[in-house]
Amino acid sequence: MPYFESTTDHTRLHFVDYGPANGPVIAFVNSSYLSTEMWEYQMLPLAAEGFRCVGLDRRGHGRSEDVWGGFDLDTLAGDLGSLLDHLDLLDVTLVGHSFGTVEVVRHLALDGGERVARAVLVSGVAPGPARSSDHAEGLDPQFIRAFNETFQQDRAKFFADGADAFFARHLPGPAVSDAYVAHMVDLCGGATARAGTALNDLLPSLNLVPELAKIDCPVLVVHGSADASAPLHLTGGRAAALIPGATLHVYENAGHGLFATHADRLNEDLRAFARS
């Protein structure tokens, strides 16, 4: 089972590396709570088609080391950069989902994207959902803090209660089975309480507007119109407007978990964009 040590603080992180070593590289960055297993409907078919698909389990997630520190954005982005360096990857298409988009954006800001040719923000929380001086329509930070307190009181209930909305199962469109939803709820429990809480605590003050405006590589923003976890107008729509030259693809009736419900459409977008 492959591991490497992050150059940020020597935390031991698990990673996957699928497909041919000489294939076009797509690097996946996971959502909060989830591991690289969330990308099974992307990594497996794309690797079978000749893409090299890599990704890491964030610290405190999946099979990576459970640690107390290192949940600031610079360290998390540094962990991602450490993986790209460890595998000596070039011309990378960097794909982040949800909180993973935050790490993608910060990595591009810190590293200059020397190894990254293009980026995809899927159901992202970047630039941040909270109200700020340049985002008067955002959510009250205190509301987000109260949401986080609910998470801390009963994580298992939080994951189970939110699963149907996560996949927008109340709306017409591609369906996921009850068994798959239960499996994903179980996977969320693979993140430690410390890791999940630490990431949530970043949200009330998250503001990546300056970083987004400076991105100079091609960016595709993919978002669901019915995303309850990261509403389009607060997150993906703003990101697409702030990033110079970004392309926005909105999936009608898709929720936050469109990587599963709309896997075929997402894969088609990833194929085309990674080859561009």
List C-alpha distances in Å: 258 to 2, 82, 129, 224, 235. Answer: 28, 28, 19, 7, 15
Q: Which residues fall within 8 angstroms of residue 213, CB to CB, at 6 or more apart?
A: 242, 243, 244
Q: Residue 274, class by beta-carbon neighbours within 10 Å (0-12 exposed, 13-18 middle, 19+ buried)?
A: buried
Q: Answer yes or no: are the C-beta atoms of 138 and 131 closer than 8 Å.
A: yes
3-state SS, residue 224: strand
Residue of 57, 13, 17 whose CA lies nearest to 37: 57
- DSSP assignments along 62-122, one per residue: TTS---SS--SHHHHHHHHHHHHHHTT--SEEEEEETTHHHHHHHHHHHHTTSSEEEEEEE
Active site residues: 98, 227, 256
Tokens of 46: 């794309």
Beta strands in 123-232, from DSSP E residues, in sequence order? 219-224
List C-alpha distances in Å: 207 to 26, 73, 84, 119, 238. Answer: 26, 11, 25, 19, 12
Taking the alpha carbons at both ends of the chain, their separation in whole angstroms is 32
Q: Residue 205, class by beta-carbon neighbours within 10 Å (0-12 exposed, 13-18 middle, 19+ buried)?
A: exposed
